[in-house]
Amino acid sequence: MNLALDRARLHSEIEMLATFSDAEAPAVTRIVFTPTDLKARAWLHERCKAAGLSVRQDAIGNTFARWSGSDPGAPVVGTGSHIDAIPNAGKYDGVVGVLGALEAIRALQQSGFRPQHPIELLLFTSEEPTRFGIGCLGSRLLSGTLSAEAAGKLTDSDGASVEQVRLAAGFSGELAAVKLTSGYYKAFVELHIEQGPILEGAHIALGVVTHIAAPASFRIFIEGSGGHAGGVLMPDRRDALCAAAELILAIENAARNSGAIDTVATIGLCEVFPGAVNSIPSRVRLSVDIRDTDLKRRDALIHMMEVACRRISEKRQVSIQTQLLNADSPADCAPEIVEALTQSCVKYGLSFLPVVSRAYHDSLFMARIAPVAMLFIPCRNGYSHRPDEFASPEDIARGTLVLAETLAALSA
């Protein structure tokens, strides 16, 4: 099999997809079910159809583009990722796993390879938690990790529910029908940028993911007492933002002192009410994102956060409520797919390293219903979720080549 990628086409498609954005270039913002997201999806459908793939969408907008195998009833070999992008993001997160997979399929088609198992490119809906507060909405539903009822009721910051928004975006049918039957997949492989600095720092071509870390996220509501910035004296204050500041530092401190470099905690959102220079903050809403490769350590940090909430609430006489959004378990990648990826790297003489994914991915949830593995491409300085995120065309081509080879091995 002689695999010839069209690098220029892949590069120009990545550039093209980045133009579907609600932020000024080089930043990309593409929030799920916005008109921009829908236009990007329509463009992608056309690219898939042009490659001869048959496209179907489920009720949440997960999109499957299928290359039929010689045994159409055989379990599917899946690949893919997401194209939604957080505010002020870059152009590679998720996109490389979608457009790279499309190029891998086209290269296989052109080489004359014919799969026995169907190969499907899967575009997941809302890997990013931006709109509905919870990441991996599509893959949670596909894997049955989130019930249709709970998913339908999630709301965005305007109070619109998933149910309303997806219907308005043109995705009909029952959310309950999104869940895939067990045995649907033979294997699922996701190509992604590393979103960390290890591969680049070690001058290694590719990362073969063996484990995906366990994420948890919360909303925290703090309520104190507002008032005039001049009139209320310091001993009488119950300032919600000062309580939030203390809590943020307590969480940071607990993460720094967990004893393991793999523990991370981020407070990425802080909304202050009423938000006036001369008014004491009476209410604050925080988001907290906690991750670890070790479930026990992750949960110990959550416990420390809860203890800090009680301590600060008492000390500062404010109310602090935590709302759990998700606390997911880590996933192990399937040894047989890790081996197939490894063999493909060896075949092309490419250096590789077994790595842990500290970011979460749809593969974390697909691992509940399918054997999965992931392949990482280096990205400059490990930057991701920022406009200067960058992966070189050469690195993307290497990842795409290994993906193609692996899809061939798994689907033969």
What residue ranges bind ligand GLV (CB under 6 A)?
128, 135, 359-360
Closest CA to 60 of 199, 217, 170: 170
In this structure, which amino acid lies at residue 299? D
Taking the CB of residue 149, how many other CB atoms lie within 10 A of it? 10
Nearer to ligand GLV, 218 or 360 (CB): 360
Binding segment for Mn ion (CB under 5 A), chosen from 2-10, 19-27, 62-70, 89-97, is 89-97
Q: How many residues bind Mn ion (CB under 5 A)?
A: 2
408 to 62, 67, 113, 117, 186: CA distances (angstroms): 24, 12, 8, 10, 13
Residue 357: strand pairing partners: 212
Nearer to ligand GLV, 53 or 255 (CB): 255
Nearer to Mn ion, 93 or 395 (CB): 93
Shortest CB 358 distance to ligand GLV, Å: 8
369 to 143, 181, 334: CA distances (angstroms): 6, 9, 12
The SS3 assignment for 156 reads coil
Shortest CB 263 distance to ligand GLV, Å: 15
> Using CB distances below 5 to 8 A depending on partner kind, what does residue 371 bind out of Mn ion, ligand GLV, none?
none
Binding segment for Mn ion (CB under 5 A), chosen from 91-99, 101-109, 142-150, 388-396, is 91-99
Nearer to ligand GLV, 302 or 408 (CB): 302
> Using CB distances below 5 to 8 A depending on partner kind, what does residue 120 bind out of Mn ion, ligand GLV, none?
none
Cis peptide, bond prior to residue 274, ω within 30 of zero: yes
Is residue 194 involved in binding Mn ion (CB under 5 A)?
no
Residue 156, by phi and psi: left (phi above 0), alpha (psi -120 to 50) or beta?
beta
Of residues 340 through 359, those in contact with Mn ion by CB under 5 A are none
Residue 43 · residue 17 · CB < 8 Å: yes
The SS3 assignment for 86 reads strand
Shortest CB 128 distance to ligand GLV, Å: 6
Q: Is the dihedral of CA 288, 291, 296, 297 positive or negative?
A: negative
Helical (H) or strand (E) element with 401:
helix 393-411
Q: Determine the Cα–Cα distance for residues 399 and 103; give it in Å rounded to an integer.
A: 11
Residue nearest to ligand GLV (CB): 359
- Nearby residues of 311 by Cβ (< 8 Å), 6 or more positions away: 250
Nearer to ligand GLV, 64 or 360 (CB): 360
Shortest CB 316 distance to Mn ion, Å: 34
Shortest CB 296 distance to Mn ion, Å: 26
Here the tokens at position 65 are 């583009």
Q: Determine the Cα–Cα distance for residues 376 and 127; give it in Å rounded to an integer.
A: 17
Site string for Mn ion, 39-58 (x = CB under 5 A): --------------------
225 to 88, 235, 271, 316: CA distances (angstroms): 33, 13, 15, 11
Here the tokens at position 40 are 């990007």
Is residue 90 involved in binding Mn ion (CB under 5 A)?
no
Nearer to ligand GLV, 69 or 135 (CB): 135
DSSP strand pairing (264-273 vs 283-292) = antiparallel
> Using CB distances below 5 to 8 A depending on partner kind, what does residue 360 bind out of ligand GLV, Mn ion, none?
ligand GLV
The SS3 assignment for 169 reads coil
In the list 94, 152, 196, 224, the residue contacting Mn ion (rule: CB under 5 A) is 94
Nearer to Mn ion, 193 or 286 (CB): 193
Residue 259, by phi and psi: left (phi above 0), alpha (psi -120 to 50) or beta?
left
Is residue 84 involved in binding Mn ion (CB under 5 A)?
no
Binding segment for Mn ion (CB under 5 A), chosen from 88-96, 158-166, 171-179, 373-381, is 88-96
Nearer to ligand GLV, 362 or 395 (CB): 362
> Using CB distances below 5 to 8 A depending on partner kind, what does residue 100 bind out of ligand GLV, Mn ion, none?
none
In the list 93, 120, 362, 395, the residue contacting Mn ion (rule: CB under 5 A) is 93
Is residue 129 involved in binding Mn ion (CB under 5 A)?
no
Binding stretches for Mn ion (CB under 5 A)? 93-94
